[in-house]
A and B are shown apart, each in its own frame.
Chain A
């Protein structure tokens, strides 16, 4: 947990924020923000808009429904009422907060 906290502080997020890519299958929460991670290979302005277009907006309810057979990657995420598949590396730029 401490690494997550440190990371959250580093990226300017709240200490309560987690990165969606690090959450296990079955995890539920709410999108609290978008913030770039180092592994991304396309410019952040583009990646951010793509994630937003697929429904990862602040306040959206998310749940990790499935994970892939190799290294638990990619993940299938329920975003409000649709299901989106993405790699964990990309999901790491989605900040989430557990359901209160």
Chain B
């Protein structure tokens, strides 16, 4: 970052969306990349280093894609501020590399004209020339270079050796960069008349260079099916179903394997070490904590495999097109359905996948409502309470009552997510929505190397950034539930003597109006670790000796005997909204790069959970009286 020695020149990659800029960045820097956020914003910052054939080291930063330097969205504003040297802590790039899709030159020429006004050394990388050739697309490169008065380098980012000439060009660019800028920055925001004039100039250059656009018939034929009002929707549903199935079901065996491995490790340690605090810290704190981080990896990898493939193929823009009106009616972006759908499996990959939405405000709205989707961690809680309290009988002869209640819980989650999104759009962000104006890129085959690199980046980012927070919270929760230990003559379960037990008893009066007894209050504290932990914690509070899967079935008769129906229903209502998932909060902290949003998320969900439980409890009491 800004700590790099000043002698190393810093270059920036600029280009329109879908021009293959990231693939070029990967080809230039390999896996020597650092992914982080720009300070204070949700915009991802990618930096890498490369060594030129002459042995010069160059830092390269990949800026968010944009059609102009006007900074129409927060992401585009980052691009503008970096190239103008206006962003705090971000050095002004010594030179710029503009990336253009060789098959689609029209819009990027205007961007080049704006970049030239910065008076920095500039080259144009004409990317995807292989695809251009195959499509019969033509352009006179020498003439283009002459017209634009900058070097133009044909590249193929996805092929080995496809960027050799770009490396050489970067060498020369580094020499030019040493001489400093050629003149003052003359860029200012263009007026509509200036944009019109720039278009005319771009048109003239395209004619002069004998530019012939590529053959788009294949994309056109695919779009006839994939954007069809009926077939297109059916295919989208099939893709979504496959994705959901993969995250939900395919990940499960791997996750079970990971859980089993960590359990095995715990049993081994328990067999080797004497019972005591150290053993408890090691097994219940540290190993269980690491396990609870790693267990998310299969879902995250599967989720991002789908997302990266769909994005690179060009399907994501089509899906957004099909879903735009539906999601738009709830004030959400067309692409928000991917994060929301995957949140049914788990909010962690869901929130991480909100990155498919470029616009920061739309992304935040999606992140904030994603945890309302019924994730799989709620299922054990729902199952336990439903099987204990809802009679297993048929309604209207076809549906089971238990299944109907489960469906109702899911539906309430979805409806409240849409309602919260709408409220946020109307009340919180009263400013205007981004107009839906999106280029539909031509379909392309995804490049395996880029897919793998993208997966690796997501996984390592999750482990490093979110994983450390999750682990710290897990150990904190272990500490709260274990200290102080039970006295020697203890008759109640140990958790009652711990800080968690004390806090549970202490907050019980606050939870009394929603019908929660102290056992629930105590179980909610370790339940902060993850929603399904609440089941195990209830088992602990009711001093069950059963472990694992048996806790649920052993608990059922106890709960049915000790809880009133309104209490049980109130707890169900609570768990539709319950913010109790430390990992979700940690990932929101990581993805939004601020503490404000996880706090806002926690508070609003807490208010909803309490209100819903309160209403449910009192309506049920009244109805049963």
Chain A residues close to B by CB (< 8 Å): 40-42, 45-55, 57-58, 65-71, 73-74, 76, 80-87, 90
> In the complex, are the beta carbons of B107 and A55 less than 8 A apart?
yes
Beyond A86-B437, A86-B438, 5 extra complex contacts between A and B, CB < 8 Å: A42-B435, A50-B435, A53-B110, A68-B321, A70-B326
Contacts of A50 in B (CB 8 A): 72, 435, 437
Distance (Å) between the CB of B148 and the closest chain A CB?
18
* B107 and A82 form a contact (CB under 8 A): yes
Q: A41-B435, A76-B227, A90-B436 are in contact. Are A53 and B107 (CB under 8 A)?
A: yes
B325 lies within 8 A of A70 (CB): yes
Inter-subunit contact B324/A81 (CB<8 Å): no
Q: 30 A-B contacts, Cβ less than 8 Å apart?
A: A41-B435, A49-B191, A49-B192, A50-B437, A52-B192, A53-B68, A54-B67, A54-B437, A54-B439, A55-B107, A55-B199, A57-B200, A58-B196, A65-B220, A68-B321, A68-B322, A68-B325, A69-B229, A69-B233, A69-B325, A74-B436, A81-B213, A82-B104, A82-B439, A83-B439, A84-B440, A85-B321, A85-B437, A85-B439, A87-B324
Q: Does B403 reach chain A (CB closer than 8 Å)?
A: no
Interface status of B380 (Cβ within 8 A of chain A): no
Q: Are B106 and A81 in contact (CB under 8 A)?
A: yes
B209 in the interface (beta carbon within 8 A):
no
> Which B residues touch A68, using CB under 8 A?
229, 321-322, 324-325
Known: A49-B192, A68-B321, A73-B325. A87 touches B436 (CB 8 A): yes
Q: How far is the CB of A32 from chain B (nearest CB, A)?
A: 13
Is A84 within 8 A of B192, CB to CB? no
Shortest Cβ distance from B111 into A: residue? A53
Q: How far is the CA of A74 from the CA of B328 in the complex (A)?
A: 11
Question: Is B321's CB under 8 angstroms from A53's CB?
Answer: no
| Pair A85/B233 contact, Cβ less than 8 Å | no
A81 and B233 contacting across the interface, CB-CB below 8 Å: no
A51 to B195, CA, bound (A): 10
Q: Is B223 an interface residue (CB 8 A)?
A: yes
Q: With an 8 A cutoff between CB atoms, is B485 at the interface?
A: no
Please give, as numbers and ranges, the residues of chain B lying within 8 Å of A84 by CB-CB distance.
437-440
Min CB gap B258→A, angstroms? 40
Partner of A52, one of B199, B223, B227, B436: B199
B321's contact among A57, A71, A76, by CB below 8 Å, is which? A76
- Decide if B432 is an interface residue (CB 8 Å cutoff): yes
Contact with A along B431-472 (1 / 0, CB 8 A): 011011111100000000000000000000000000000000
Report the separation of the CA atoms of residues A87 and B72 in the bound assembly, to the nearest whole angstrom: 18
| Alpha-carbon gap, A70 to B195, bound state (A) | 33
Q: Do A49 and B190 have beta carbons less than 8 Å apart?
A: yes
- Residue from the list B72, B229, B322, B440 in contact with A83, Cβ < 8 A: B440
Instruction: Report chain B residues within 8 Å CB of A47.
Output: 435
Residue B70 interfacial (CB < 8 Å): yes
Annotate B1-23 by CB proximity to A: 1 below 8 A, 0 otherwise. 00000000000000000000000
When A49-B70, A82-B107 are in contact, do A69 and B322 touch as well, CB less than 8 Å?
yes
Interface positions of B from 402 to 455, Cβ below 8 Å from A: 432-433, 435-440
B320 contact set on A, CB distance < 8 A? 85
> Within the complex, what minimum Cβ distance (angstroms) separates B50 from chain A?
31
- The winner among A54, A68, A70, A84 for most chain B CB atoms within 10 A is A68
Closest Cβ of chain A: how far from B143's Cβ, in Å?
19
How far, in whole Å, are A84 and B320 apart by their CA atoms in the complex? 13
Given known contacts A45-B192, A66-B227, A81-B213, A51 and B437 CB-to-CB distance under 8 angstroms: yes
B54-76 contact mask (Cβ, 8 Å, vs A): 1 or 0: 00000000000001101010000
**Distance in Å: Cβ of A64 to nearest Cβ of chain B:** 12
- Tell me whether B195 and A53 are in contact (CB under 8 A): yes
- Please give the distance in Å from A33's CB to the nearest CB on chain B: 11
Pair B440/A87 contact, Cβ less than 8 Å: no
Residue B317, interface by CB 8 Å: yes
Which A residues touch B67, using CB under 8 A? Answer: 53-54
Instruction: State in angstroms the CA–CA spacing of A68 and B161 once bound together.
Output: 42
Distance in angstroms from B212 CB to nearest chain A CB is: 9
Task: Check if B162 is an interface residue, CB within 8 A of chain A.
Answer: no
- Asked whether A90 lies within 8 Å of B107 as measured between CB atoms, the reply is no
Interface residues of B in 226-272 (CB under 8 A from A): 227, 229-230, 232-233
Which listed residue (B213, B223, B432, B438) contacts A65, Cβ 8 A?
Answer: B223
Rounded to whole Å, the gap between the CB of A60 and the closest CB of chain B is: 8
| CB nearest neighbor in A for B437 | A86
Q: What is the distance, in angstroms, from B21's C-beta to the closest C-beta of chain A? A: 17
Contact yes or no, B435 A90, CB < 8 A: yes
What are the residues of chain A within 8 A of B227 when measuring CB–CB?
65-66, 76
Residues of chain A within 8 A of B229, CB atoms compared: 67-69
| CB-defined contacts of B324 to chain A, threshold 8 Å | 68, 73-74, 85, 87
How far apart are the CA atoms of A66 and B321 in the complex, in Å? 10
Do the beta carbons of B325 and A85 come within 8 Å of each other? no
Residues of B within 8 A of A71 (CB): 325
B199 contacts A76, CB within 8 Å? Answer: no
List the B residue with the shortest CB-CB distance to A41: B432
A86 CB contact (under 8 Å) in B70, B213, B436:
B436
Q: Cβ of A87: which chain B residues have Cβ within 8 Å of it?
A: 324, 328, 435-436
If A51-B437, A65-B220 touch, whether A85 touches B317 (CB-CB below 8 Å) is yes
Rank and list the top 10 A-B pairs by shortest CB-CB distance, nearest first. Answer: A81-B213, A70-B325, A83-B440, A69-B229, A66-B227, A52-B195, A41-B432, A57-B199, A85-B438, A42-B432
Instruction: Please report the C-alpha to C-alpha distance between residue A77 and residue B25 in the assembled complex, in whole angstroms.
Output: 31
Q: Contact at B232–A69, with CB atoms within 8 Å?
A: yes
Q: Inside 8 A of A49's CB, which chain B residues have their CB?
A: 70, 190-192, 195
Interchain nearest-CB distance for B283 vs A (Å): 53
In the complex, chain B residues whose CB is within 8 Å of the CB of A40: 435
Minimum C-beta distance from A40 to chain B (A)? 8
Report the bound CA distance from A73 to B325 in whole Å.
7
Nearest-Cβ distance from residue B559 to partner chain A, whole angstroms? 45
Q: What separation, in Å, do the CA atoms of A94 and B440 have in the docked complex?
A: 19
